[in-house]
Structure 1
Amino acid sequence: MMKIDINSDLGEGMPYEEELMPYITSCNIACGGHTGNELTMTATLERAKKFQLNIGAHPSYPDKEHFGRKSMKMEKEEMAMSLLNQIKSLEKLANKTGQKIHHIKPHGALYNDAAINYDIAQVIIGLMVENFPETFLFAPNSSIIEKMAKEHGVKTKSEIFADRKYLDNLSLVPRTEKNAVLIESKEVIDHLYRMVFEGYVKTVTGKIKPIKADTVCVHGDNPSALALVKEIYEVVNIPMEE
């Protein structure tokens, strides 16, 4: 049986979050940077506990105005403190419910920037080494932050996106560009199947690039999220031929 972790970004006020939970195995909980507060984090933790999901912190640039989707210039110390405070706020609440932070996955522009920017990646890896040494990092395959994590002994899971298009450097097509998000079911499933079962992704320019998949993300804010995650659940759990 082929099985892969399925994760989704939760606690962001999107519809159908609880309906998504039976079809995922990990959740990334917004912890105050782009959105999220004590009430939303607690509610999401309680629902995640019900479905026995892996708990992840989903920190962001401190940017509620743009939902964490715009890059910000920050001093390293300022960025590290902001991210630490976000993760610790979720960890404190998780401790109350008997849950443990399983992974950290940066959100939005921070995720994309850390994949290609050495200094930003260094802040996140330094934070994890010092404060969360047993926690997994969800990161893009072959990205700067994934390579740096492995160099520093940080546990990683290579993440792919079922509903996002890829550039030739394996970074995601920015949401500001037209058709960056895949919505049609067949297109999503074909895209996913190639990555999970055949080990490659077709980029927006038509190039074929090898890719590793440990966990697949489906975005809760995709209009077709619930229907897509049900199909993804079926696809990644189908029996493999011997």
Structure 2
Amino acid sequence: MGLLFLCLNFDVNLLMKRVVVFSGAGMSAESGIMTFRDMGGLWEQYDITEVASPVAWEHTPELVMDFYNQRRKQLFECVPNKGHELVAKLESFFDVSVVTQNVDDLHERAGSSKVLHLHGELKKVRSTIDPSLVYEMKEWELKFGDCCEKGSQLRPHIVWFGESVPNMEKAVSIIQKADVVIVVGTSLNVYPAAGLIDYVGNKVPIYVVDPGMPAYQLRNNITHIQKRASQGMEVLFDVFGIGF
């Protein structure tokens, strides 16, 4: 009865709306996953390009392996926060697609059913000779000698600096069909992903949830909600006239 009551209290046309949530590191920060920006661009005293590039993998693979093992270990210990849960709950009212810059699986664990990862997935690894061979990690540690079925070393299933973003075309297609776009937890500084907002029509409402001031061009269809991810999502539920 509760859900039916809520549905009857906002425009029934909203039930047909296609909502795209574009999320970044701030979405997962409340779960304890620190952002590169919070760390001043450094992890364990190393510049990010020293641990997240093909050159780094070639010259200092031990450092790269340790970096992602530690991040993966942290992820196994984290749980989705209220922001993730509210994004998932939007599916009770809208056709929701999540496009995320994050490599964690917290959206999926919170219950979101359509999630596209732009920068890869931390809990997956792939072959170094055949990128189509991708495997789910059941434990946090990847070791040298862990090989794919073709005998090559496995590497993190991550889009490194200097590599193309294979899911960009798919993300553009998703965001172009949106009736509403929610940008949450991203400073919109990381390209090419940040350029997705340029594909949103001028008449499509865009809600930007971020406690800071993201780097977007001022447009009449943008509403900035200057709050953390979970608090901003609560505000949006009020805007949409639905309960949480």
State the TM-score bracket (shorter-chain normalisation): 0.3 to 0.5
Larger gyration radius, structure 1 or structure 2: 2
Q: TM-score, structure 2 length as denominator?
A: 0.32
Greater fraction of residues in helix: 1
